[in-house]
Amino acid sequence: NGTAFCTTWFLILILVFNSMFDIPFVSTNKLINLILLSMGGVFLFNLFFTCLFIKSWSFTKRLTGFMIGISIYECFCFYSLGIFQKSGSILEWIIFIGIVLVLYFCCIAMYQQYSKKQGELYTRSLQVYQEKRRIENGE
């Protein structure tokens, strides 16, 4: 699923790029690179988010490591696919880093909200369980 998602996303980016610069086709080599690079991104995701490789990291540490790793990997991918063609200006890099940081902080905010709701749910369930045990024990 991850490879299909990434390949589709990169293909959309390539199609947008080609449309913007009037490039009429996508080469077979570029498509092969696209699939291989997508598989690398999926591997990177699995490296950080499965417990097979990193066992003791919290979600925030995993997300931080992944965002750093995927940002570097994306730059490599974008250069190898020809999306980035020169070193880029300071403004272009600030925009790229800004996009990555905004997405990172959005993920952190969603996780905080999710954790808060799950914590409240867990606390309520624990209180109901404790009350039930008190009643069963005649306290």
Model pTM above 0.75: no
Instruction: Quote the pLDDT of residue 3.
Output: 82
Yes or no: say if 31 and 37 are a contact pair by the CB < 8 Å rule: no
73 CB-contact burial (10 Å; exposed 0-12 / middle 13-18 / buried 19+) = middle
Per-residue model confidence (pLDDT) at position 8: 87
Q: For the chain, first and last CA: distance in Å?
A: 52
pLDDT of residue 83: 66
Structure tokens belonging to residue 92: 């272009």
CB count in 10 Å sphere of residue 35:
15
Which string of b and e fits 41-55 if b means at least 16 CB within 10 Å? bbebbeebbeeeeee
8 A C-beta contact, residue 66 and residue 48: yes
Those residues whose C-beta lies under 8 Å from the C-beta of residue 93, and which sit 6 or more positions away, are: none
The pLDDT, as a whole number, for residue 22 is: 92
How many Å apart are CA 89 and CA 97, to the nearest integer? Answer: 12
> For the chain, which ranges sit under pLDDT 70?
81, 83, 139
DSSP percent split of the chain into helix, strand, coil, nearest 5: 80, 0, 20
